[in-house]
Every structure is written in structure tokens, then in C-alpha cells.
Structure 1
């Protein structure tokens, strides 16, 4: 039998956002509150899947608070963390205490991404200009006179093809962006980080770290932090391509090595880490797309730039991208001009910030995961002491918390035009 015929329909909107991650949903909400019609296409039908990145920095917290969703997301379940620590055995090499920052954003939040995405989606659903397209994969981009004018998205739930006609398409579909690929834009991948990272969680009722802790363990490192509800999230950092060799040794050897690195949680590891199937390998790499804007097309978040997990910068940068792009798109719609020139201020503002984070992560990796024996350990401890106990440390903490260049929400643009919640008088 041949493939079933697909029914094709057309949807007209102002902006098509591809990808319902933090960047895509936050941008959608800001645009809706500014009277902009938005269609959001997401290939998945549920947020109930495992996400590795869930640490929310103060910069991201402030953006979510300004758009009115932080408290609701936290009420769905989150854990507060006082900061970052790097340890070697019983020694604390580095203690970045976020309580030194001014409130209310004087902490990290371990916020499950499903909770954040569901709260953002619920907020978007209050606006009549919102069209949500779950279970829709982008199939092709539409162009006219060299400008992107929308996309064709295909439903995985039935025989339907939808042509979404839009003034601008925003690719927010992650590090392996299909939208970016369809546009023929190179990802700019670079294996700058010589690590593999394996993630898993274990139940930990009544046990906690209170911080994001990185434990140096020979040639590797183990990251551990509290996560909702009453669990520990653990990331095992190995030399690049080291996971295959580790897996060949078997789960018993892996469990013993991790228990030696985390002795206070050894009982939990022996009880709950029983199979390789419970471990997920994260492909760690850096990438910066060759361009982020074209006529009628913008890349944001991981689709534009990808980072390693060190320092928990991914969600922070994605939310800041959304806040930076929001006024640029409003301006473009007001002017009726969706050219690369009109959209370029977004890339000009955000590319340097993304590149600065990549440089910072490379330095962090060399400083705290590098080799060097006793001499290297001594130098790292001296450098960490400067960060922990001097005013320089407070400035470094603020830079990690808010990024190289702080971004705020242009909420004076809210309430324009048709930005009325459903059911509002």
C-alpha cells in the first residue's frame, strides 16, 4: 500500500517559533504579551521526559519572574541550592556562595524542566494570539525572494501537513536543530571539551547536598546536586571517549568508582545503581552557528550556540536570548521589515556573550579538571581561595550568575495591541 495522502491546511501568524524549550516558550510568552500572534511547533506531545539541564541561574530566574512564571514553576516542585563547590577528597577547593548576591535571586534553583515548560505553556495559553502545535515536526522552510516566509510542519498524530505562513521563523529547536539544517546554516561544532558526561538520578529521601558539588576523582570528576523530589542528580565526567571503556568494565566497577568519589552517598549508589540502562551519555561539545539571522529567520538558544554543562549556563543563556530577541522582533513587526539588517542587533548583542561563556567554560575545565599532580592541586587551591574569600570572588559569582552581559525583559512592551488574556474583560 502507498503512503496515505496528507491533508494540507494553511495557518497565518506573525511569528512561527519551532521548539518548545525554555527559549522558545519564554520568547513566545513575551511576544504574546506584546500583542504579537505566535504559532509554536513542537515535535513532542509531552514534557514528561528526562532533561539533563535543570539548574536555573539568578539571571534566568529574574527573566522568568519578570514574565510572571517563576513562582508558579517553583510551586510545581524545585530545590534551592546555595551555590557551587569543587572538592578533592575532604578538601573544599572552591566555594562559590550565591548568598553573597543581593536577593531575591541569591540562590540556584534545581527546577525540573518539565515544571518550567508546563508553567510557560499554561501562561501562553491565556492569550488568543497563541497557536500551539504539539506533535508537529518541521519539514521544510518557505521562501519568497530570498526571505523566509514560514514553514511546512507535519503532524505525527495524523495525516496532516500544515503550511504556517509567518513574517519571521525562530529556530529554538535545540543543539541538533532541524530548522538550522533546513536553512543550510552550519552548526559550527567544535570538540573543545575533552570529556564525556554520564547522567543518572537516585532516590535520596532525607539526604541532600545543599549545593551543586563537583568532586575531583583522579582523571575524572563527579557532579552531584539535589533535585525534586528527594533525589540526587549525578553527572560522571570522564575523559573524551572514556565511556565505552568504562561500560566494558561493567556496572559493578562503575558503582565502586562512583562510591569512592561520593562516600557519603555510597549506600544509595550500591542500592539503586544496578544497571547500565540507568545511565545516560551526554554528547558534550561547543558550537556556534556561522550566522544567527537571515531575512525572516533567527536562531536562538542551543540552535545558535551550544555549551558544555559546566557552570550551568545553558538555560540561562537561552532565556537571555529570548529576552534580547523580543524587542527586536517587536520593532521588526512595527516597521514591517524582517530583513537580516533589522534582525542583526540580536546577534550583535548575544554572540559575544555566548562566546565569552565558551571561553569561561574552557578555563574552568582546565583549572579544576585538569592534570598537574600535587603542584597543580596546590595552584588550584590557591586560585580557588582568591575566588572564595576576596571581593574578586563576588564579581566572579555575579558574572557566573547573570552572564557576561545581563539582559532584562522589556516589559514596557507588554499590553500592546491585542495582548489580552483569554477571558479577560
Structure 2
């Protein structure tokens, strides 16, 4: 995509990783002009973020790519522990609950990050968007009306807002002067590589514990939909990883029963040092941080890519409401309000899992993430049960039956959804493009009443009657246009 003639856009997105691509898809379906610039000449080639949690699958369902994701990926393999070249038995890293009426996706799926990005890019192009590869932001200024970015192509781009989705070493974050606070999770570096090993079976996630407890670990995981494995190998502190083909071969031969020549290809390799760090703020004027630019973490628990995609999902509808529907600009303040605490919780969870202090389970599936107590969570009902499990404003809206389909079918798309559940209370006349209304019988996961579901699938407002503040809430969020 050439940039020579591009002079302005609604949103400039810096970085074509999962965060930037998901945000671009969400904005495109809202008819918000967005430009994604990526300094690399191609999509990221590695498997790095390979686990997709159930909540992210729900996001991908809404974005129209879940079928492609499920077809390309596969289940998380059962672990197989090896010692001395002998199989010691299977190891299950987490429980696998069955799908339910309220949650159609309950177990993580395996898909290498490069494939997830390919699917997102294909969807973006279907929606009329694209990525400017080989293009870097070399300078950025902002004023009361927008941002001005100098690009490495020589072009100057004007945008209403910009989003830094350029990874943990974000250039844009540093230019904004936003610092990150955190800790080293583990001083030992980790080598990660995508390798081909035809001699190894693809039915298990192969684990090779160190000869002594506390020593460096090695794991080789088959990557669904490919002929490759992801190799992860912890190295002694102070070691400089050898990322070459021969270096990877020698490591595999030293750590496993496999011979060096059994590694026939290294498709991609890298190294990292597990660290947990959180940006001090997620916004500076008209520029937002999202994904790894806002939070870096240990990969344990498979939370990072998922949290990053959900950053984009939270920010996308808010930018759309401000730019397309006249919502107050203050709505954008709720992005940091909602996402920064969730990112902090994710960092803590990932660190505890890395250190063996917590197990992968309900929390890592991310279906319990919500925004209770936030300024966009308004619950006007009285006499609610004291149980914390009862649905409240700010919670994820459960799936369930709705007419001939499901509630998720009703939610799918960039609109709001007003549910009248088990009630015949009078409803206001609303713009049917912005707010879809559905009346269904009483449904236990919700109870009875009116529930306004945000475009990102969370209950924003709940009440017994529309007079409990429904229209004021919609006006605040740019969804009140009356027909």
C-alpha cells in the first residue's frame, strides 16, 4: 500500500501485530478510516503468542474470523514428560471444561501468532483496510485537534488519534515519555524457535525437565496447522543464546534424546528475558498505548496476546463512538480506566504461573474479566442478590438462546444491544442502526429486566425500566440518535 497520496486519516495505528490488526478490523467495520503502519516489510514470522483464550475466541467471533481461526488451529496438546529418553507420562496443564449455553468457547486453542495475524490481515482487507509495510513513524506531534506524524516514506500524515501498538520496545511510547514500572520475573534468558523435527511425534507437548530440580527446562510444542514445533529452552543466567541452526541443533541434542540432525529446519528464532512491566498510563493526549506497548509479561499462562487483542476491542468501539457518532471525547478516558487494572491483574497472574505459584484455569480463560465498579458500569436495579456471581453491569454478557439463534448472534456487529428479558416494560424508540433491541423470555443467567450490552460484549447498563437512566447512558456513549 503506497502512502504518497495519503494525507489524513481518522486513526493512525503504529504496528501490525495482533493488537494493531484487531483494532484496524474493528474500526473498519465502524466506517472509521484508519491506517496501520508497520516498519517491518512483512508480518511477524514467529509463533510467539500461540495460545488463544476463550474470551479472545468470543472477540474473534464478533470480528467475523472465529471459523477461520478454529479451522487453522487445534486444541492445546497434552504434555508428555521425558527423562533419559523415556516417556514418564502425560501432564495436563489445565482443566478442560465442556462448552455451555452461556459460554460456547471454554478451552484455549493453539494457533501460531503468525497465522493469527494472517487471518486478521485478510479480514482487514475484506473490510477495505490494509497495512503500509516498510513504513516507520519518525516523528509525532499533537495539538488540540489531532496528531501529525512524519513517516519514513517522506510523507506527513494527519490523524485525529494515534495508537501505539508497536510492541514492548515501543518507539512511540518512549517518544511520548511514558515510563514502565515492573520487575524481572526470572533472570534466566529463554530461547524460543520454530523448528521442524520429523522424528518427534506431534501428539504431545514434549517436556524435558532438567536433570536437577531448579535447572533449566526445555519444551517442544507442536504448532497446530503446521509441520513445525515451538521450542522453548531456558538458559542459565548470563548465557548468550545461539540462535543459529547449529546452535539450536546442539541445544536440542544436549537437552533431549534427539540427535542434532533431527532438527531439520529453524524457521524463526529469538530470545527474551521474562519480565513484567506496566506503562504508568495508557494515554497521552490523543495517543493511546495498546498491547505490549502498554504491558509486557512472562508468556506463562498464555495471557499476553489475548490481553492485547482485548485492549484493541475495548478501544475500537470508543474511538468509533467519538469519531462517527458524536460521543463526548471524555468517553476515551474510560479506556485507561478499564484496561490498565486488567493488565495489572494479568501481569500478576502470569508471574505467579511462571513461578509455579498458580495453575492455569478459570482465570487464564479470561471469561471472568469485567469492569464492575467502573464509570461505564451502571446498574439501576434494586434488591439484587448479594452473591458476587449474579450478573451485574460491567460483567461479560453471557450467551444463550435468542429467537432462532443465540445472544452472541444478536451481539455480533458494531452495534449496541438492548435486551428486554422477561419483561414487557415500555421501551424507548431508538436508532435501529446503533441499538438493536431483542425481547426474550426470562433467562436465569440474566434474571429479568433491561440489559444494555456494549459493542464489546459487556453489560453497560441494567435496569427494571428505561426511565432508570437508559437514554442518559446512551447519550454519554454516542448511541442515542433517535429515529
2:192 is the counterpart of 1:199: yes
How many angstroms does 1:20 deviate by? 0.9
Separation of aligned partners in 1, 2:249 and 2:61? 44
How do 1:274-289 residues align onto structure 2 when only pairs under 5 Å count?
A: 280-289=270-279
Contact 2:290–2:311 (CA under 8 A) maintained in structure 1: yes
**Alignment of structure 1 residues 42-53 onto 2, 5 Å:** 42-47=38-43, 49-53=45-49
Q: Which has the higher contact order (CA 8 A, sep 6+)?
A: 1
Residues in 1 aligned to 2:80 and 2:342: alpha-carbon distance in whole angstroms: 25
Q: 1:79 is matched with which residue: 70, 74, 77? A: 74
Q: Does 1:292 align with 2:282?
A: yes
- Partner SS state of residue 287, structure 1: strand
Partner of 1:112: 112
Deviation at 1:105, TM superposition (A): 2.6
> For the pair shown, which has the larger CA radius of gyration, 1 or 2?
2
1:218-275 CA-partner distances (Å, limit 9, x unpaired)? 312223211142222110123432446999xx7786334321xxx4xx25x5522799
Q: 1:30 to 1:206 in 2, by over 3 A?
A: farther
CA deviation profile, 1:95-154 (whole Å, cap 9, x unmatched): 4133545475344333232322222222222335x3532221011112225x75232222
Structure 1 residues 256-309: Cα deviation after superposition (integer angstroms, max 9, x where no partner): 4321xxx4xx25x5522799x985322432221111012211100001111111
Secondary structure of 2:126's partner?
Answer: coil
Task: Show the counterpart of 2:383.
Answer: none
Counterpart of 1:234 (choices 228, 231, 256) is 231
2:233 partner SS: strand
- Work out the CA distance in 2 between the residues paired with 1:324 and 1:48: 23
Contact kept, 8 Å, 1:193 with 1:286, in 2: the verdict is: no
CA distance in structure 1 between the aligned counterparts of 2:116 and 2:268, rounded to whole angstroms: 24
Cα deviation for residue 324 of structure 1 reads: 1.2
Match of 1:306 in 2: 296
In structure 2, what is the Cα distance between the partners aligned to 1:304 and 1:360? 16
CA distance in 1, matches of 2:265, 2:202: 22
- In structure 1, runs of 5+ residues without a counterpart are 1-6, 156-160, 369-382, 388-395, 418-425
C-alpha contact 2:14 2:36 (8 A) present in aligned 1: yes
Q: Is 1:60 aligned to 2:56, yes or no?
A: yes
Counterpart of 1:20 in structure 2 is: 16
Task: Work out whether 1:335 is the aligned partner of 2:326.
Answer: yes
Q: Quick check: 1:63–1:323 contact (8 Å CA) kept in 2?
A: yes
> How many Å separate the matches in 2 of 1:315 and 1:223?
20
- Look up the match of 1:3: none
Alignment coverage as a number of residue pairs: 367
Aligned partners of 1:244 and 1:48: how far apart in 2? 20
Q: TM-score, normalised by structure 2?
A: 0.66
Deviation at 1:47, TM superposition (A): 2.0
Decide whether aligned partners of structure 1 residues 412 and 93 sit closer, same or farther in structure 2, where only a CA change above 3 A counts.
closer
In 1, Cα distance between equivalents of 2:64 and 2:243: 45
Q: How far off is 1:9 after superposition?
A: 5.6
Cα separation, 2, equivalents of 1:86 and 1:359: 27
Q: CA deviation at 1:80?
A: 2.7
- Secondary structure of 1:359's counterpart equals helix
User: Kindly tell me: are residues 125 and 91 of structure 1, through their superposed partners in 2, closer, same or farther at Cα, counting changes over 3 Å?
Assistant: closer
Aligned to 1:144: 143
